[in-house]
Structure 1
Amino acid sequence: MRNLRTYLLIFLLFPLILFAEDGSKLWLRFPDSQNGISAAKIISKGKNLTLDIAKKELTTYWQGQIVELRTEKSLHYLKDGYRIYSTPEKIVISAGKQTGLLYGVYHILRLQQTKSDISHLNITEKPSYDVRILNHWDNLDGSVERGYAGKSLWKWDDLPNKLSPRYEEYARANASIGINSVVFNNVNASPNMLRTDYLQKVKVLADIFRPYGIRVYLSVNFSSPKVLGGLENSDPLNKEVHKWWKDKAAEIYKLIPDFGGFLVKANSEGQPGPQDYGRTHADGANMMADVLKPFGGIVMWRAFVYSPSKEDRAKQAYLEFLPLDGKFRDNVIVQIKNGPIDFQPREPFNPLFGALKKTSEMAEFQITQEYLGFSNHLVFLAPLFKETLESDTYADGKGSTVAKITDGSLRNTKITAIAGVANIGEDTNWTGNIFAQANWYAFGRLAWNHELSSEKIADEWIKMTFTNQQEFVNPVKDMMLSSRETTVDYMMPLGLHHIFAFDHHYGPEPWGDIPGGRPDWMPVYYHKADENGLGFDRTETGSNAVSQYFPPLNAIFGNIETCPENLLLWFHHVPWTYKMKDGKTLWEEISFKYDSGVKNVRAYQKTWDKMEPYVDAERFRQIQSKLKVQSKDAVWWKDACLLYFQTFSKMPIPYEIERPVHELDDLKKIKLDLKHHN
């Protein structure tokens, strides 16, 4: 009898287990076709793996009229793009190549899923960038630098013989939003990545990804010829070194004919590079570019460089790369972080954008939330990405936005690209937080079309991930769209930056100043708090970082009266009593900003609790729990920063805002045992 009851219980629970909403489906929660559309309703010619995937997606999920998939040579100018149009009898998806058809299929499935009007379609899509790439900072031991969703997806010890089903699921998710490239390994690269046994593992992954239109790239260690090849050095002008790279490139392309190329971090944060031998970044990049050129490969050379120096860290990449403008091969593209410091919650755009007039440039964003509460905080990053892309550099006159500089529309470039540092791990929900999936989605959609609005992207993601019910969509969308600004308010308002706890970057530590430590790794280097005021003077009388921006920005940023207030403390050391535009003093303004951030997160908690009727229990509880952590962290940030800065301002915390609940001495004792490889 007991066994019978057990079997009955299992039988009753099985549907719940089978259909549990654990977040693993991401935004691809397409409803299966009610009747199972027959193959006869899909019209297509030819056969290959990509076309097979496109037809399978339609067969399984499409619930509309007949779809014709048509390749047309005349549409090659669209690159990965496509046309979609309706006739009375059918919907036609046409493209220059099969990957375009696959992207077109995902487009109409997205329209169906978001309940958009599909009666009179007339759509032409062409991607903003040729290379739309995820940079994984995954290590060969399975750890992930700045990863907050478990260990690496890539099971190198199991490869090439044992394949995880998640490899294809990952490829499908990327293809659905137009991501077409991936770097498997950390920019702090192990030379072992180029060993033959690892290249054979990479080949297997490349074979899985290829039908989804995804090319693979590798981060490479500049010292590989010496470490792996046993050469005397890795000097890029050494003929033996050049030959080693040439032979390695030939080996790679024999295994992976469509291999994309190399991503390189060199002479930055202790990584080896050409400067070790008295050579330039151009010397190193060009040597690699020359060996990849015959195969159509490219080099993405990171501009994230800084060294112990009396020079303002924010200026160093510009100073190092500007003299090299025009000296790089045409298959080298310089990969530039969105801001001049390091993926801060808010930075001005990197002044290198547009300054390199004869060199291809690409933007690098961070999808993983290294400086934004890891996977604990809800921070929708589309507004941050858009803020950079829409920033006007004035490099070629008014309207020279970062987007137009990098997408090739203002300058002729051989190849255009955009990169995002991935937030993906082996967690069931992929990203550690359901809402963090939206940042992977947002990066892909903006890489495909940087003119999309944050609101449009949030609307799509919510409807695809949860429900189309407006009672859910609208309040959750409001939450998402305000979340980045909320986070800036409770962490580092008004242009404050890099005042995180040392090393792991979780939580506040504005007092941080380790004796003997590098100044540019310490929060006090960045906020410069003293009895007179707060902020980093980057005007002509300070570090003069403003001079790296084109007119009129240099003058706008350099004048305390015209500098945007959300960047005020980035560019100016501001007196505590300075009157802001709303009449408050700086001290009052910063106090109210911190308080506003806390209040907004609490409002998110209330909003989310009201959403319980519209969402499954498992994801509801996951997000509810994360918001509790975020709310506690917001108070932690507010109290730590206001109590610490008050020791300099000597001014009372405005009585209208909530009183601190911590003591400063207690906050200073907090030491979290967090590693890079969470």
Structure 2
Amino acid sequence: MRAHWGILGIFVGLVAAEDGLNGWLRYAPLPENLRPSTTKLPSLIVALNTTETSNTPVSVAAKELQAGIQGILGTQLEIATEATNTSIVVGTIAAYSDKYRELNASLLEKDGYWLVKKGAKVRILGQNERGALYGAFEYLSRLARGDFSDVDIVSNPDAPIRWTNEWDNLDGSIERGYAGPSIFFRNGGIVKDLTRVAQYARLLASLGLNGIVVNNVNAKPEMLTEINIDGLGRIADTIRPYGLQLGISLNFASPQLLGGLSTFDPLDSQVVAWWTEKTNKLYKRVPDLAGYLIKASSEGQPGPLTYNRTLADGANLFAKAVEPHGGIVMFRAFVYNHHADWNDWKFDRANAAVEFFKHLDGQFHDNVVVQIKYGPIDFQVREPASPLFANIPNTNMAIELQITQEYLGHQDHLVYIPPLWKEILDFDMRVDSKPSLVRDIVAGRRYKKKLGGYAGVVNVGTNTTWMGSHLALSNLYAYGRLAWNPTQDSKALLEDWTKLTFGHDRSVLDTITKISMESWPAYENYTGNLGIQTLTDILYTHFGPNPASQDGNGWGQWTRADGETIGMDRTVKNGTGNAGQYPPELAAKYENIETTPEELLLWFHHVNYTTRLSTGKTVIQHFYDAHYAGAATAQTFVTEWESLRGKIDTERFEHMLFRLKFQAGHSLVWRDAVNGFYRNLSGIPDELGRVWNHKYRIEAESMQLTGYVPVKVTPSETGSNFTAIVVADPTTGARGEAVATLDVSPGTYDIAINYYDVTDGRAHYGAFLNDEPLLEWIGDLEDKLGHAFSTKLDGHSATRIGIEGVELRKGDVLKIIGVVDGIERAPLDYVSILPAGIVD
């Protein structure tokens, strides 16, 4: 018998190896077979633009080169003042021209670098100091990947804005954060020790990112108190040596809430004066402040619409304040009515961005950038590209991508997101029937704009993995690389990240690449497909399944599902008209159900469950099959990862095994809940007889119960047979027993136990076979995982644990004992007795 500790994992006694803090900048020793055998290596480093006391991007670059080469090659290089033919020279191209010989810098753009390597002679020259640092990181990345080839390359960023948006709150919490508290804030102010902030800045600089908005878009006015302005200055001082500029989110009503004014009307002279004074104070403390990020008149946040002013009026208020200082304003296009009338079949949240912004095109100041989520709704598992990209050609634009997995499993499900981003960035909007790739629009090329770029919502925390999961960090890496050059291949980026993070073992590289590239399609399959969106609980934690929550409310993420039909009708002819917001070529494509891509079918069309797809399957049968296929793929992630035991350090191996086992179990919760919901709603059975037919399960309520009582689960489809059991006595320490006599043929089986792990309680469990202990565990996932937890028995708390290789005979007695702790009354859903290789 082998205990499958599943989601609980036992870490006692494991040797700590790597905790993930260095991310892809580990500078691990290069294997001997990848070291150059004849190539002569550099002998010293010369840093231009520096003095002995410098703390600038070039001085950081020199120290990084020194540390990197020491780690990768075991060679200690001195930092010298004079170059030789076997030296690395790093600095600006202007400084190099002054000291050595004049070089033609015409090919270099702002932040760009020129990397020349010929044998042991290396020149890393930036258009500015920031560019020199980027070039140094690129050189080290090549060494760490075993690439010692000679190069002569000029690399310029695709767009000027390459920022992260942190959703950190002053109290230290993080909205949609799954990796611990904030590295920036605590108890209403900025933390004293900014060591982790410097480490984060180093990671971002290595990707070519140049800005961090450190606080939540749902901003608090207290961000602008005198003490916090000084704290923001300390953050800026910390990140500046890495070429990063500070940005902050603002609360639109701050003049009233913090300043004591009677209004926050953007056209009121007192308000204008207040923001001008506050901005001047900020720039006095932070002269290189990048600018402001504004969420206004959205989801209850204050904004210009309160006073019947336009969104352009609101954006321009801040633009005029920062303009003398060279700052910019990122103004979010995420404006919509979240109290919409569900009964209005013409209303469509997906129309909101164009409705709010199109008529304002050309009215925004030149230093305003409209920040647009990649799709029309909200970071779903699949959406079409936002039509706003095609509707405001006279306005600067940036694309907002979400690295944090708000709707994609909260970093406790492996989902490598860059393939999704690439589909959007490579998408052709066909404006004026001309090539209009989204990546060219946001970079400013398509409409000949000077500003534009990328904003990535990332939400790192104090967890040493930064994002709560070692593999989730691949999303941050790829985001930065794509913001620099969006033409790069997402699989190639993943392979580079894997080599830098886990080393050069071929099986490690192939396995991580395989499961990561399969992860987005699998997640889409077991959550929501055909363009229906991620069928999560949008009214609660955004983590587990709850398809019913999509409809019947004011949020507008509707599916319009009833007993016969499903999908939003977004046609011009009969529906909301959303298809008509796209340029004519796309509008015609999306208007016609025959030419709409099937992966977006239910996004644009309202159809019968019995509608046939190109495969010949009906829509409902596709749903059933896709959810089974996606969950089946998630099971393979565990076995694939287990094949790497001994090839990855123990700490990171066990960390990811723990999460992949959780994902495998939770994918089954998703599969059963979504399929069960639509089976009940449509009345159409699964042609293969799988839905509602689980022959290997023993329902907990059908077991012999002592101290346990049945309870209904809500939503009902998140419980097998709609029912679970809990200990009747809610007092901590009370216990219950559930007993089943097994009717099986003699053999070896796997036992899976589905239960609910709610927050605010850590119930104790024990499983026994013929009174001999099989497994003990605690319902303490809130201590081990980072997703948003639930206090209820639902799709968020539903989970599974298992024991592999148990010898069973007919008549064996399985007993599960649960002990109450806090509000957690040791809830159980079902037990599965599974022949080897079977997943119920």
The TM-score normalised by the length of structure 1 is 0.92
Distance 1:478 1:536 in 2: 34
Distance 1:489 1:412 in 2: 39
Q: Which residue of 2 aligns with 1:86?
A: 117
1:660/1:377 CA distance change after superposition, 3 Å:
farther
Q: Which residue of 1 aligns with 2:256?
A: 226
Letter of the structure 2 residue corresponding to residue 51 of structure 1? V
Q: Which residue of 2 aligns with 1:538?
A: 570
Q: Which residue of 1 aligns with 2:634?
A: 601
1:547/1:132 CA distance change after superposition, 3 Å:
same
Given that 2:410 and 2:787 are in contact with CA atoms closer than 8 Å, whether structure 1 keeps it comes out as no
Q: Are residue 356 (structure 1) and residue 392 (structure 2) matched?
A: yes
Distance 1:253 1:30 in 2: 37
Q: For residues 539-581 of structure 1, give each alpha carbon's deviation from its aligned partner in whole angstroms, at most 9, with x where no partner exists.
A: 1211121011112111111211111111111111122221111
Distance 2:674 2:188 in 1: 47
Aligned with 2:144 (options 113, 124, 129): 113
Aligned with 2:272 (options 226, 242, 256): 242
Distance 2:57 2:486 in 1: 25
How many aligned residue pairs are there?
Answer: 657
Q: Which is higher, the Rg of structure 1 or of structure 2?
A: 2
Letter of the structure 2 residue corresponding to residue 41 of structure 1? L
**How far apart are residue 500 of structure 1 and its match?**
1.4
Given that 1:151 and 1:425 are in contact with CA atoms closer than 8 Å, whether structure 2 keeps it comes out as yes
Given that 1:32 and 1:61 are in contact with CA atoms closer than 8 Å, whether structure 2 keeps it comes out as no
Secondary structure of the corresponding residue to residue 223 of structure 2: helix
**How far apart are residue 476 of structure 1 and its match?**
1.5
Distance 2:333 2:270 in 1: 27
1:164/1:286 CA distance change after superposition, 3 Å:
closer
Given that 2:409 and 2:787 are in contact with CA atoms closer than 8 Å, whether structure 1 keeps it comes out as no
Distance 1:159 1:191 in 2: 12
Q: Which residue of 2 aligns with 1:563?
A: 596
1:672/1:268 CA distance change after superposition, 3 Å:
farther
Q: For residues 55-74 of structure 1, give each alpha carbon's deviation from its aligned partner in whole angstroms, at most 9, with x where no partner exists.
A: 11111222486312242245
- The correspondence of residues 97-496 of structure 1 with structure 2, limited to 5 A, is 97-116=128-147, 118-157=148-187, 162-307=192-337, 308-309=339-340, 310=344, 311-496=347-532
**How far apart are residue 399 of structure 1 and its match?**
2.3
Distance 1:147 1:102 in 2: 29
- The correspondence of residues 517-532 of structure 1 with structure 2, limited to 5 A, is 518-520=553-555, 526-532=558-564
Q: Are residue 27 (structure 1) and residue 24 (structure 2) matched?
A: yes
Distance 1:58 1:136 in 2: 29
1:221/1:660 CA distance change after superposition, 3 Å:
farther
1:432/1:313 CA distance change after superposition, 3 Å:
same
Secondary structure of the corresponding residue to residue 387 of structure 2: coil
Secondary structure of the corresponding residue to residue 352 of structure 1: helix
Secondary structure of the corresponding residue to residue 330 of structure 2: strand
Q: Which moved more, 1:76-85 or 1:49-58?
A: 76-85
Given that 1:576 and 1:587 are in contact with CA atoms closer than 8 Å, whether structure 2 keeps it comes out as yes
Distance 1:83 1:618 in 2: 39
Q: For residues 237-268 of structure 1, give each alpha carbon's deviation from its aligned partner in whole angstroms, at most 9, with x where no partner exists.
A: 11111000110111011001000111000000
1:15/1:542 CA distance change after superposition, 3 Å:
closer
Secondary structure of the corresponding residue to residue 248 of structure 2: strand
| Identity of matched residues, % | 38
Given that 2:669 and 2:718 are in contact with CA atoms closer than 8 Å, whether structure 1 keeps it comes out as no
Distance 2:14 2:566 in 1: 59
Distance 1:632 1:676 in 2: 15
Q: Give the RMSD, CA atoms, in angstroms.
A: 2.6
Letter of the structure 2 residue corresponding to residue 356 of structure 1? I
1:458/1:415 CA distance change after superposition, 3 Å:
same
Secondary structure of the corresponding residue to residue 450 of structure 1: coil
Aligned with 1:503 (options 525, 540, 552): 540
Greater helix share, structure number: 1
**How far apart are residue 646 of structure 1 and its match?**
1.3
Distance 1:364 1:228 in 2: 29
**How far apart are residue 231 of structure 1 and its match?**
0.9
Aligned with 2:46 (options 32, 40, 43): 43
**How far apart are residue 395 of structure 1 and its match?**
1.7
Greater strand share, structure number: 2
Q: Which residue of 2 aligns with 1:71?
A: 92
Q: Which residue of 2 aligns with 1:3?
A: none
Given that 1:145 and 1:676 are in contact with CA atoms closer than 8 Å, whether structure 2 keeps it comes out as no
Letter of the structure 2 residue corresponding to residue 650 of structure 1? G
Secondary structure of the corresponding residue to residue 613 of structure 1: coil
Given that 2:114 and 2:154 are in contact with CA atoms closer than 8 Å, whether structure 1 keeps it comes out as yes
**How far apart are residue 537 of structure 1 and its match?**
1.1
Q: For residues 41-65 of structure 1, give each alpha carbon's deviation from its aligned partner in whole angstroms, at most 9, with x where no partner exists.
A: 1133330422111111111222486
Secondary structure of the corresponding residue to residue 326 of structure 1: coil
Letter of the structure 1 residue corresponding to residue 374 of structure 2? N
Given that 2:169 and 2:185 are in contact with CA atoms closer than 8 Å, whether structure 1 keeps it comes out as no
Q: For residues 265-294 of structure 1, give each alpha carbon's deviation from its aligned partner in whole angstroms, at most 9, with x where no partner exists.
A: 000000000111110100011111011100
- The correspondence of residues 654-673 of structure 1 with structure 2, limited to 5 A, is 654-655=687-688, 661=694, 664=717, 666=719
**How far apart are residue 676 of structure 1 and its match?**
9.3
Contiguous gaps of at least 5 residues in structure 2: 1-11, 76-85, 95-103, 700-715, 724-755, 760-781, 790-840
Letter of the structure 1 residue corresponding to residue 331 of structure 2? W
Letter of the structure 2 residue corresponding to residue 505 of structure 1? H
Distance 1:56 1:604 in 2: 39
Q: For residues 193-250 of structure 1, give each alpha carbon's deviation from its aligned partner in whole angstroms, at most 9, with x where no partner exists.
A: 1111101000001001001000001100000111111111011111111000110111
Letter of the structure 2 residue corresponding to residue 629 of structure 1? F
Letter of the structure 2 residue corresponding to residue 86 of structure 1? K
Letter of the structure 2 residue corresponding to residue 107 of structure 1? E
Distance 1:623 1:225 in 2: 47
Distance 1:15 1:602 in 2: 25
Q: Which residue of 2 aligns with 1:7?
A: none
**How far apart are residue 456 of structure 1 and its match?**
1.2
Given that 2:295 and 2:331 are in contact with CA atoms closer than 8 Å, whether structure 1 keeps it comes out as yes
Q: Which residue of 1 aligns with 2:829?
A: none
The TM-score normalised by the length of structure 2 is 0.75
Given that 1:300 and 1:332 are in contact with CA atoms closer than 8 Å, whether structure 2 keeps it comes out as yes
Letter of the structure 2 residue corresponding to residue 231 of structure 1? L
Letter of the structure 2 residue corresponding to residue 379 of structure 1? V
Given that 1:39 and 1:59 are in contact with CA atoms closer than 8 Å, whether structure 2 keeps it comes out as no
Distance 2:691 2:679 in 1: 15
1:300/1:645 CA distance change after superposition, 3 Å:
same
Q: Which moved more, 1:322-331 or 1:404-413?
A: 404-413
Letter of the structure 2 residue corresponding to residue 586 of structure 1? V
Distance 1:659 1:471 in 2: 39
Q: Which residue of 2 aligns with 1:638?
A: 671
Contiguous gaps of at least 5 residues in structure 1: 1-12
Q: Which residue of 1 aligns with 2:774?
A: none
Letter of the structure 2 residue corresponding to residue 666 of structure 1? G
Secondary structure of the corresponding residue to residue 417 of structure 1: strand
**How far apart are residue 166 of structure 1 and its match?**
1.0
Given that 2:163 and 2:213 are in contact with CA atoms closer than 8 Å, whether structure 1 keeps it comes out as yes
1:159/1:26 CA distance change after superposition, 3 Å:
same
Q: Are residue 628 (structure 1) and residue 664 (structure 2) matched?
A: no
Given that 1:331 and 1:414 are in contact with CA atoms closer than 8 Å, whether structure 2 keeps it comes out as no
**How far apart are residue 626 of structure 1 and its match?**
0.5
Secondary structure of the corresponding residue to residue 42 of structure 1: strand
Given that 2:569 and 2:576 are in contact with CA atoms closer than 8 Å, whether structure 1 keeps it comes out as yes
**How far apart are residue 671 of structure 1 and its match?**
10
